[in-house]
Amino acid sequence: MSKKYFGTDGIRGKVGEYPITADFLLKLGWAIGRVFAEEGNGFVLVGKDTRISGYMFESALQAGLSAAGVDTHLLGPMPTPAIAYLTRTLRASAGIVISASHNPYYDNGIKIFSTEGTKLPDELEYKIEEYLDKSVTTVESALLGKAKRIEDAAGRYIEFCKSTIPSTLSLRGLKIVVDCANGATYHIAPHVLEELGAEVIKVAVKPDGVNINENCGATKPQSVIKKVLKHKADLGITLDGDGDRLIMVDHKGEIVDGDELIFIIAKSRLRQGTQKGPVVGTLMSNLGMEHGLEKLGLGFVRANVGDRYVIEKLKEHGGMLGGESSGHIICLDRISTGDGIVAALQVLTEMQQSGDSLHKLKQGMQKYPQVLINVKVARKVNPLEIPAIQKAVTIVEEALGREGRVLLRASGTEPLIRVMVEGSDKEKVAKHAKALAEEVENSISA
């Protein structure tokens, strides 16, 4: 049964357009409250990133929760992983995040964490949707939910981040550029690094409600590259608007993406003797990471795109490390969800313990050239069900052998077929991708 409102990562859209409206969020707060009131007494945490609409939606959710008779503890601007962590440690019934992650300020969304700090189970999302189709009712006045602010939320999370690396480890001697995307980590990430002894050069730490992710953050690391080179820094750390995504930059100004960072952390865990189970990537993870892990003797499993599916595979296979090339990195031995600051600290730990630069650490994995072509289509179709496309894919796969990979998939949000070819030879990869894209276009048109 498909869901009416919830996608793979909560509910998201443009502010002012249904369902990202004040009246819907009030009703959503009430529906969440009714479901968790059924689960037992308790309170719900509400946190947000720095976009201006967060004020409106925070109030709307709190009003709805109150009408359902549930208390609200407000965290203010906090990274998404911090809300997951605090939901678990404060023993809240649930945690609500008001954020649209790396999207522009005019978008917003809602994510919900369970009391364990994990994504909400499907059965509870279905229950919430059932209430969304009912009329809002208000409990008797004496039973209305109350609200209060958690004043020390940032301090609690800063201490948690520091606890994810050895207590004896110091970052003294490291000069680090950190870009907080004018988002939820602006008052967290610089403090974590400074308290651990690093010299920190701050970028995009002055949110004004509309500058979140604007020409900054993990999706636009150019400003960090310039700062690293200008200040001769050891590295750069760039996070997205809600702090669950990480991209790093080495001292030469070269980007180190999620696949490379996962490889570095896996190698570090292997050296320490703490790596358990296979590493989990996605269908888009670079083949170079798979081959690099193979050389280390580590297993590798691919999940569908999305951190939710990565976590599912990790739990299924008894793994603890996984993520996406986009920078969602999950260290289940540290926290229950993707966390940019925690992932960065694991990489910094390996740098300090090994004595190697970030540039040298990433050399252990050789990225393969990857070409992605989006083919516009007029109708929804599975390209691999068309015999001519199947034949074309087989020909390319045979030509590439173990040194390459083909992926064709329909976009879940746009009328596109994504054609991805990866291999050791850049020119051959580009040629094969172009030929496959033409075959997809011609076959679907026919």
Rounded mean pLDDT of 421-445? 93
Query: How is the beta sheet containing 370-376 ordered, strand by strand?
Result: 370-376, 416-423, 404-410
Domain residue limits at 215: 169-256
Of 147, 29, 139, give the one whose Cα is nearest residue 94: 29
pLDDT at 365: 94
Model confidence band, residue 55 (pLDDT cutoffs 50, 70, 90)? very high
Integer Rg of the chain from CA: 23
83 falls within a domain: yes
200 in a domain, yes or no?
Answer: yes
The phi and psi torsions of 3 (rounded to 5 degrees) equal -90, 150
101 is annotated as an active-site residue:
yes
**What is the token pair recorded at 402?**
């173990």
pLDDT of residue 165: 98
Whole-model pTM: value is 0.93
**Does 242 share its domain with 269?**
no
47 and 110 inside one domain: yes
428 and 381 co-located in one domain: yes
Note whether 374 and 355 are same-domain residues. no
**For 168-177, 260-269, 405-414, which range has the lowest pLDDT when averaged over its residues?**
405-414
Mean pLDDT of the chain: 95
In a domain, residue 140? The reply is yes
Whether 20 and 59 map to the same domain: the answer is yes
- 37, 144: one domain: yes
Tell me the pLDDT band of 414, cut-offs 50, 70 and 90.
confident
| Residue 167 scores a pLDDT above 70 | yes
Domain count, the chain: 4
Domain boundary among 256, 284, 301: 256
For residues 104-111, give the mean pLDDT.
97
Task: List C-alpha distances in Å: 362 to 105, 258, 268.
Answer: 33, 11, 12
pLDDT surpassing 90 at residue 249? yes
Domain end (from 224, 256, 288):
256
Same domain, 430 and 377: yes
**How much of the chain exceeds pLDDT 70, in percent?**
99
Do 125 and 43 reside in the same domain of the chain?
Answer: yes
Residue 8 has pLDDT above 90, yes or no: no
How many angstroms separate the CA atoms of 353 and 169, rounded? Answer: 8
Give 412's pLDDT tier (boundaries 50, 70, 90): low
Average pLDDT over residues 407-411: 86
H or E element, residue 30: helix 22-39
CATH number assigned to the domain comprising residue 213: 3.40.120.10
Q: Is residue 305 classed as helix, strand or coil in its secondary structure?
A: coil
CATH of the domain at 421: 3.30.310.50
17 and 142 part of one domain: yes
- Residue 310 within any structural domain of the chain: yes
Are 125 and 15 in a shared domain?
A: yes
* 157 inside domain: no
Residues 95-103 have a mean pLDDT of 97
pLDDT at 265 over 70: yes
Q: Is residue 171 predicted with pLDDT exceeding 80?
A: yes
| pLDDT of 108 over the 90 cut | yes
Q: Which of 99, 101, 325, 326 is catalytic?
A: 101
CB neighbour class for 428 (10 Å; exposed up to 12, middle 13-18, buried from 19):
middle
Instruction: Please check whether residue 390 lies inside any domain of the structure.
Output: yes
Residue 227 and residue 267 in one domain: no
Final residue in a domain of this structure, among 323, 338, 367: 367
Both tokens of 249, joined, read 């930059």
**pLDDT band at residue 413 using 50, 70 and 90 as cut-offs:** low
Place of tokens 């939606």: 57
Task: For residues 174 and 289, state if they share a domain.
Answer: no
Q: Are 5 and 11 in contact (CB under 8 A)?
A: yes
Residue 420 lies in a domain: yes
CA 238, CA 326: separation in Å to the nearest integer?
A: 12
In a domain, 5, yes or no: no
Distance from C-alpha of 161 to C-alpha of 320, rounded to nearest angstrom: 17
Q: Which residues contact 25 (CB under 8 A, 6 or more apart)?
A: 56, 57, 60, 61, 64, 110
pLDDT at 41: 67
The pLDDT value given to residue 305? 87
